[in-house]
Each structure stands twice: as C-alpha cells, then as structure tokens.
C-alpha cells in the first residue's frame, strides 16, 4: 500500500466516524430547539416593537454612508483622520517629555518664595502676658482675693469720634 491509499482510507474512516458521532449530537440539539421554541416565540413577540425601533434608528443613522458624495471626500477624510492621530500622538509625546524634564529640573517649583513664619502677633503676646499675670495672681497664697476695678481715666478717642476737616481746593477756580 502506498501513502495515497493510506491517506484516502484514513480520510474516509474519519469522515464516517464524524458522521456517526454527529448523529446523536444533532438529535440532542433538535430536541433542545423543539423544547425552547415556544419561549423563543414569546420573547420575540414581546421584543418586536424594540426590534423595529432599533432597525429604524440604524437605518436613519446609516443614511450618510449610503450617499454617493461621501465617496468623493474619502481621501480628505483619511488624510484629516491620519493628521489628527499623528497630532494627538505627537502632543502626548511632547507632554510626557515636558513633564519629565520639568520635574527632573525642578522647573515646576513655585515662582514666589514662601514667606518665613512670623513670630507672635501683638494680640497673641498680650494674651500670653495676661494669662501669665493671672497665673501669678492665682498662685500667690499670701494675698486675699480682692475685686480690682479699673480707674476711669481719660479714654483714648478713636478716629470715628473726630470730625474730618475738609480743605477747599482752589484748583477749580
């Protein structure tokens, strides 16, 4: 027996084996289809309005692709699309390079230097001094508690209690 005969016999034998195995599988698939057909019909009946609506929307959206003038601008569309992609890719590469360089050279540091922290303000100093005095008064055991009153003396007058005297300007005469 030569190789061609062996190949032919092997091919026929494998074909018959596949047909023999396919027969029960096809009967099982047909039984499943027969059992599920009522459910399929019910679901198809319920979804029929949505199917028609989807078909109408797809038809409306595909109108520009069925027009003949679109074929005339196809090369322009391809050119502009390619230019847009190249531009986006170039911009992304430049952005990454700039971010890398600016972070490695510390170019993104703030221009205005931060102000050094200041000491205490006058109000904080007065409050601390008042607390210190109160602690000294509370901790002295020899004194008896006395109510201290301020002596009414001359009060400092603010700017709101003073009259503003206006001068007449002679530039306009």
Cα–Cα nearest to 55, from 64, 45, 67, 47 = 47
Looking at residue 27, what is its pLDDT?
93
Task: Give the pLDDT mean for 133-137.
Answer: 82
Top-confidence range, 9-13, 41-45, 109-113: 41-45
- pLDDT-wise least confident of 9-13, 59-63, 144-148: 144-148
Cα separation, 30 vs 36, whole angstroms? 10
Cα separation, 135 vs 129, whole angstroms? 10
Looking at residue 151, what is its pLDDT?
63
Cα separation, 16 vs 128, whole angstroms? 104
Q: What is the separation of C-alpha 1 from the centre of its chain, rounded to a whole number of angstroms?
A: 73
CB 108 within 8 A of CB 102: yes
Cα–Cα nearest to 66, from 58, 55, 75 = 58
Cα separation, 66 vs 60, whole angstroms? 11
* DSSP letters for 33-75: HHHHHHHHHHHHHHHHHHHHHHHHHHHHHTHHHH-THHHHTHH
Query: In which band, very low, low, confident or very high, does the pLDDT at 68 lie, cut at 50, 70 and 90?
Result: confident
Percent of the chain topping pLDDT 70:
77
Cα separation, 133 vs 148, whole angstroms? 14
The Cα-based distances of 43 to 22, 67, 145 in angstroms read: 30, 36, 94
Query: In which band, very low, low, confident or very high, does the pLDDT at 56 lie, cut at 50, 70 and 90?
Result: very high
pTM of the predicted protein model: 0.30
CA-based Rg of the chain, rounded to a whole angstrom?
Answer: 48
Looking at residue 87, what is its pLDDT?
97
Q: What is the pLDDT of residues 29-50, one digit of tens each?
A: 999 999 999 999 999 999 999 9
């Amino acid at each position: 027996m030569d190789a061609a005969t062996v190949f032919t016999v092997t091919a026929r034998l494998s074909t018959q084996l596949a047909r023999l195995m396919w027969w029960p599988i096809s009967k099982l698939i047909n039984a499943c289809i027969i059992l599920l057909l009522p459910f399929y019909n019910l679901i198809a009946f319920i979804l029929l309005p949505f199917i028609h609506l989807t078909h109408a929307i797809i038809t409306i959206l595909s109108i520009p692709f069925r027009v003949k003038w679109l074929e005339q601008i196809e090369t322009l569309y391809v050119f502009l699309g390619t230019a847009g992609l190249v531009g986006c890719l170039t911009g992304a590469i430049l952005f990454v390079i700039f971010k890398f360089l600016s972070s490695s050279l510390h170019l993104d540091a703030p221009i205005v230097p931060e102000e050094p922290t200041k000491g205490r303000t006058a109000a904080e100093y007065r409050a601390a001094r008042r607390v210190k005095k109160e602690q000294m008064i509370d901790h002295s055991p020899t004194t008896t508690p006395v109510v201290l009153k301020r002596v009414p003396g001359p009060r400092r007058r603010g700017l709101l209690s003073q009259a503003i005297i206006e001068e007449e300007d002679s530039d306009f005469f």
